[in-house]
Structure formats: C-alpha cells, structure tokens
Amino acid sequence: MDLASLQAFYKTVYYRSISTAAKELYLSQPAISMQIKSLEQELNTKLLERSNKGAKPTEAGNIVYEYAQKILELYEHMNKDLESLINTRRNISVISCPSFGHYSLPCSLYEFKRRFKGIDFDIEYAFTDDVIKNIEKGVYDIGFIEGECTNENIDCMTLGASRMYFVANPEIVKSNILSKKEITQYSLFIIDKKCYLRKIIENVFSSHALDIYSFSIHMESSSFEAIKSSVLAGEGISIMPYLSIKKELYNKSLIILEVEDMVFKYHYSLIYNKKITDPLKLNFINFIKEHGKKSFC
C-alpha cells in the first residue's frame, strides 16, 4: 500500500476537503484526487462521496480512515526512531491547533532556534481534540490548543486569552455596528464543527437566543485561510480569531463588525505529556512558559 495515497485520503477525510488536504500536503487538488482513486482501486471499494459541500467518507471509508490514522502514527514513530540514530541534529515535534500554530507560534520557534543551534522542529496541525490525543499517545512532544486540557496524563498551562470577531470586507456593509437581526442577513463562512472555536461561537449564540442556522451558511471549512479568502472577496462575513486577521485589520481590507454585546472569548494553552524527561524538550517547554507571550507573532 502506498503511504502517500493513504495520507492523502486521511487528510481529505480529516478536513472534509480535498483543497485543504492539498494545501497541507503541498500537492495539487488533481494529484490528491488521483491518489485517492488509486487507493480505492487497490482496496476495490469506494471511499469518498464528493459534493459541492466537501468530501464525506463512505462506510468503508470510515473504516479505512480509522486504520489510516494508526498506520500513519506508527510510520511517524518509526521515522523519529531512525532519525535519532543517524541525525546529529535534535528534533522537537510540535502539534498545534491551526488558529495558534499558523499565526502566533512561528516567531517563538524561530527565536528558540536562534538561541539554541542544531534544533529542528517537526510541526503538524490538528484540531484541539486531536492535539490532546496525540500528546497523550506520545506521537508528538509539545502541543498548543484552544481552551484547556484536564487529562490526568498531560500537563497544561494557559498561555493567554484571545477573542474572535465578526469580520467583513468593508465594501459589503453600510455600517460596522449591526443588530442581531441585521447580521443574519449576510452569508456566513464558518469554521468546521470539529474546531473548539466553533463550540465557543455556538455557545455565545445560544446565550443570545440566536441559532447558528438562522444565518445563511455559505461554507463550513476546516481552514481559516480559506474562510478569510472568501470574506476578503466580499462573498459574506465570518467570525474569526484576532490572531488570524491582524494584518487584514491593519491594512483595512477587513473590518470588525460590532453586534450588540456579543463577545467571543477563549484561552490558548501549552500542553505536554507528563512522562517527558528529555532535557531539550523540557528546555523548550520552559522557554515557552517564560518567554512565550513576548516571542509570539
């Protein structure tokens, strides 16, 4: 079995999107489709149902997805063990929720590498629940999540607070102050249900007697970048983390929409397995604890 095809299928199901899988794997969408088709031919069964709403696994696809996760984790472990034998450079594996890993973490990794030579980072992105699972299993060393973790096998430290905001292209709104009734008149681009931040959004809506499905939901996506591109194009509005829209707010290509007293708050945290004893990894953990806020982008 070709692991590249298995990974293409796994990422597509995980994100429910061929385009997002292609972006993460640095492949074209046709290449991803060909790999999945090759896997279907090898297994002699259909694995995906495709529609304009995304890609959904068949019953057989769900089975393959569960095994693919285990196979790819084992493959990752094998590579790490082999690298430790042949590579004099030291590796730290990091897994982060996209809202933090894409926008705040890169500057901290750069600063740590500047201070400590010969260090490499292996970085993966996943939603918070999957970050926690991977840290508990020891697949990755360090994790960054939205919210907090109460798992007894994991140490968790809150790093800071952040917010999400309603945002839009300024050309499609007459005012940046809207009522709840007015905001529901716009098409909504929103993060996937697997994302922890989606729960924050739905809880805030519920506390204001507002149903998320009172909006015309144009797209649910696992990628904030995909959502942001659609909003920048003037196709609708979204609710996005401040960390992901700082640049666009500065250059005024996006504006914040104030909707009565609706506030979307959350925390982000550092997590790691309590069994970690490697001095290098503990050094990085201490670096984040002591300098994290100053070194985040």
Identify the residue whose tokens are 């259909």.
46
Domain that holds residue 40: 1-72
CATH number at residue 227: 3.40.190.10
275-288 pLDDT tens trace: 998 888 999 999 99
Q: CB of 200 within 8 A of CB of 164? A: yes
**216, part of any domain:** yes
What is the rounded distance in angstroms from the CA atom of residue 111 to the CA atom of residue 109? 5
pTM equals: 0.70
Residue after which a domain boundary falls, among 55, 72, 89: 72
Burial 47-77 (b: 16+ CB within 10 A, else e): bbeeeeebbebeeebeebbeebbebbbeebe
CA distances from 3 to 59, 69, 75, 286 (A): 21, 11, 9, 36
Return the CATH number at 58. Answer: 1.10.10.10
d(CA 156, CA 273): 9
Instruction: Give pLDDT, residue 106.
Output: 92
Q: What is the number of domains present in the chain?
A: 2
The type of residue at 115 is R
Q: Domain end: 20, 41, 72, which one? A: 72
Query: pLDDT value at position 89?
Result: 58
Strand partners, 166: 239, 257
Residues of the chain with pLDDT under 50: none
HEC letters along 55-67: EEECHHHHHHHHH
User: Which of these three, 72, 102, 123, is where a domain ends?
Assistant: 72
Residue 86 confidence (pLDDT): 57
**Sequence letter at residue 274:** K
pLDDT at 294: 80
Question: In this structure, what token pair is assigned to residue 181?
Answer: 């009734």
Distance from C-alpha of 116 to C-alpha of 110, rounded to nearest angstrom: 10
Length of the chain: 297
Indicate whether 270 belongs to any domain.
no
